[in-house]
């Protein structure tokens, strides 16, 4: 440190440096929390979309099976 600085200036610099470090630590914690929330939200959205897709696919299979069951049987052709 520069010896030309007064004790008061040194204390102010240390306090300012400590405040900056604390603020950076808070910002880093906030970024981690924000990222965690983003990932959790994305996972929940993915799960909801998967459930919707599975329900849609099941409905399509049921509709296809129902269409086949409701279709009248063809008469067999007799070859004579």
Residue-wise pLDDT tens digits, 19-52: 999 999 999 999 999 999 999 999 999 999 999 9
- C-alpha distances (whole Å) from 75 to each of 15, 65, 67, 70 are 94, 21, 18, 15
Q: Which has more pLDDT, 40 or 67?
A: 40
Cβ contact 21:29 at 8 Å: no
Position 73 scores a pLDDT of 66
pLDDT range class, residue 4, cuts 50, 70, 90: confident
Local structure of 11: helix, strand or coil: helix
Q: Is residue 55 part of a domain?
A: yes
Number of domains forming the structure of the chain: 1
Position 55 scores a pLDDT of 98
Q: Is residue 2 part of a domain?
A: no
Residue 15 in tokens: 């306090």
Residue 45 in tokens: 């959205």
Rounded Cα distance between 25 and 6, Å, is 29
Position 3 scores a pLDDT of 64
pTM of the model: 0.58
Q: Is residue 11 part of a domain?
A: no
Q: Is residue 44 part of a domain?
A: yes
């Amino acid at each position: 440190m520069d010896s030309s600085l007064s004790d008061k200036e040194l204390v102010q610099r240390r306090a300012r440096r400590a405040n900056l470090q604390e603020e950076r630590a808070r910002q880093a914690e906030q970024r981690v929390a924000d990222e965690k929330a983003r990932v959790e939200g994305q996972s929940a959205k993915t799960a909801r979309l998967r459930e919707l897709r599975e329900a849609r696919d099941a409905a399509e299979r049921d509709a296809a099976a129902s269409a086949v069951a409701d279709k009248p049987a063809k008469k067999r052709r007799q070859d004579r």
